[in-house]
Amino acid sequence: MTASPEILRCPLCQVTIESNGGALDSVQFSNGPKGTRSKLWSRVCQYLKTPDQQRQCINQDSDLRGVEQMGDAFPDAPSIDLTKS
Protein backbone atom coordinates (compact mmCIF):
# COMPACT_ATOMS: atom_id res chain seq x y z
CA MET A 1 0.00 0.00 0.00
CA THR A 2 1.36 3.40 -1.02
CA ALA A 3 1.15 6.31 1.40
CA SER A 4 -0.64 9.36 0.05
CA PRO A 5 1.41 12.54 -0.22
CA GLU A 6 1.27 15.17 2.49
CA ILE A 7 -0.17 18.48 1.26
CA LEU A 8 1.74 21.50 2.58
CA ARG A 9 0.70 25.15 2.10
CA CYS A 10 3.18 27.98 2.48
CA PRO A 11 1.81 30.73 4.75
CA LEU A 12 3.77 33.34 2.79
CA CYS A 13 3.21 32.67 -0.92
CA GLN A 14 0.26 30.25 -0.60
CA VAL A 15 1.66 27.62 -3.00
CA THR A 16 0.85 24.01 -2.21
CA ILE A 17 3.41 21.24 -2.20
CA GLU A 18 2.45 17.57 -2.50
CA SER A 19 5.25 16.18 -0.38
CA ASN A 20 6.52 12.68 -1.01
CA GLY A 21 9.66 13.38 0.98
CA GLY A 22 11.99 15.23 -1.38
CA ALA A 23 12.89 15.12 -5.07
CA LEU A 24 9.49 13.84 -6.19
CA ASP A 25 7.57 16.64 -4.46
CA SER A 26 5.18 18.53 -6.72
CA VAL A 27 4.57 22.29 -6.38
CA GLN A 28 1.30 23.85 -7.56
CA PHE A 29 1.92 27.48 -8.48
CA SER A 30 -0.94 29.99 -8.62
CA ASN A 31 -0.64 30.01 -12.44
CA GLY A 32 0.71 27.46 -14.87
CA PRO A 33 1.70 23.83 -14.61
CA LYS A 34 3.04 22.04 -11.57
CA GLY A 35 6.74 22.39 -10.87
CA THR A 36 9.45 21.36 -8.45
CA ARG A 37 10.77 22.67 -5.15
CA SER A 38 13.92 23.88 -6.96
CA LYS A 39 11.77 25.92 -9.37
CA LEU A 40 9.87 27.41 -6.42
CA TRP A 41 13.21 28.30 -4.79
CA SER A 42 14.57 29.88 -7.97
CA ARG A 43 11.50 32.01 -8.58
CA VAL A 44 10.29 32.89 -5.07
CA CYS A 45 11.94 31.56 -1.90
CA GLN A 46 15.50 32.79 -2.45
CA TYR A 47 14.27 36.39 -2.43
CA LEU A 48 12.89 36.37 1.12
CA LYS A 49 14.50 39.24 2.99
CA THR A 50 13.91 38.80 6.71
CA PRO A 51 14.73 35.95 9.09
CA ASP A 52 11.03 35.81 10.01
CA GLN A 53 10.05 35.26 6.36
CA GLN A 54 12.71 32.58 5.99
CA ARG A 55 11.47 30.86 9.15
CA GLN A 56 7.91 30.71 7.79
CA CYS A 57 8.91 29.48 4.33
CA ILE A 58 8.32 25.74 3.84
CA ASN A 59 10.96 25.45 1.12
CA GLN A 60 14.19 26.37 2.94
CA ASP A 61 15.60 22.83 3.25
CA SER A 62 18.18 22.41 0.47
CA ASP A 63 18.10 18.61 0.88
CA LEU A 64 14.39 18.56 -0.05
CA ARG A 65 14.57 20.96 -2.99
CA GLY A 66 17.77 19.66 -4.59
CA VAL A 67 19.92 21.63 -7.00
CA GLU A 68 18.55 24.24 -9.36
CA GLN A 69 17.74 22.75 -12.75
CA MET A 70 17.91 24.32 -16.20
CA GLY A 71 14.65 26.23 -16.74
CA ASP A 72 13.89 26.74 -13.04
CA ALA A 73 14.66 30.46 -13.03
CA PHE A 74 12.81 32.96 -15.18
CA PRO A 75 14.74 33.63 -18.39
CA ASP A 76 16.53 36.96 -18.62
CA ALA A 77 14.58 39.63 -20.45
CA PRO A 78 15.95 40.58 -23.86
CA SER A 79 17.99 43.76 -24.09
CA ILE A 80 16.17 46.88 -25.18
CA ASP A 81 18.00 49.64 -27.00
CA LEU A 82 16.67 52.86 -25.49
CA THR A 83 18.97 55.08 -27.57
CA LYS A 84 17.00 54.63 -30.82
CA SER A 85 14.48 57.31 -31.67
What are the Cα distances from residue 20, in Å, to 6, 16, 23, 35, 53? Answer: 7, 13, 8, 14, 24
Q: What phi, psi does 20 have (nearest 5°)?
A: -110, 10
- Which residue did the predictor score with more confidence, 35 or 1? 35
Give the residue extent of every domain in the chain.
Answer: 6-61
Query: Do residues 52 and 45 touch, judged by C-beta distance below 8 A?
Result: no
Q: What is the pLDDT of residues 6-61, one digit of tens each?
A: 999 999 999 999 998 766 799 999 888 999 999 999 999 999 999 999 999 999 99
Query: Do residues 38 and 67 touch, judged by C-beta distance below 8 A?
Result: yes
The pTM of this model reads 0.81
